[in-house]
Amino acid sequence: MPSLLFVCTANICRSPMAMAIFKSKITHDTANWRIESAGTWAVEGMPASINSQQVLADHQIDLSYHLSRPIDVIDLDKFDLILVMEHGHKEAIQMEYPEVAGRVYLLWEMVGEKKDVHDPYGGRLVDYADTAEEIDQILTKGMEKIKELAYKNERAKQKKK
């Protein structure tokens, strides 16, 4: 089963939205994937921001179940692919968890670019909508690359066992 972890800072805006949007794109295959999210500086147990929930609800995607968690409570080795929202997230994870460094990518790298996903935290509802749209477009265009990397890394981990 391929596994995918989305990471942002507080795990209340971007990474939960990315997780939920990704799940909505693979509804026919969700049971065959492990899809989660976490934050580099998250406080455990916080709900997704109201604006994140509202923006996704407008697209019939439920995010009300989400509770934040910090990345340090997660066994990162269980994930085949770790997609982060900012360069700083990637650098921090690769330095602190070198055993997973080769599985960490910027979300934008799935479409051949090396940019940060805009953080809407503290902004207006339209800022959250713009970020959700940005994530949706990246996931749509990068879906094949995401699947390719996740399956490739899953096979590589299985061979090591």
Q: What positions carry a catalytic annotation? A: 8, 14, 119
Token pair of 76, please? 């990162």
CB atoms within 10 A of CB 71: 23
- CB contact set of 44 (below 8 Å; sequence gap of 6+): 67, 68, 69, 70, 73
Number of C-alpha atoms within 13 angstroms, CB side, residue 91? Answer: 5
Residue 85 carries which side chain, given as an amino acid letter? M
Report helix, strand and coil shares of the chain as percent, to nearest 5: 55, 15, 35
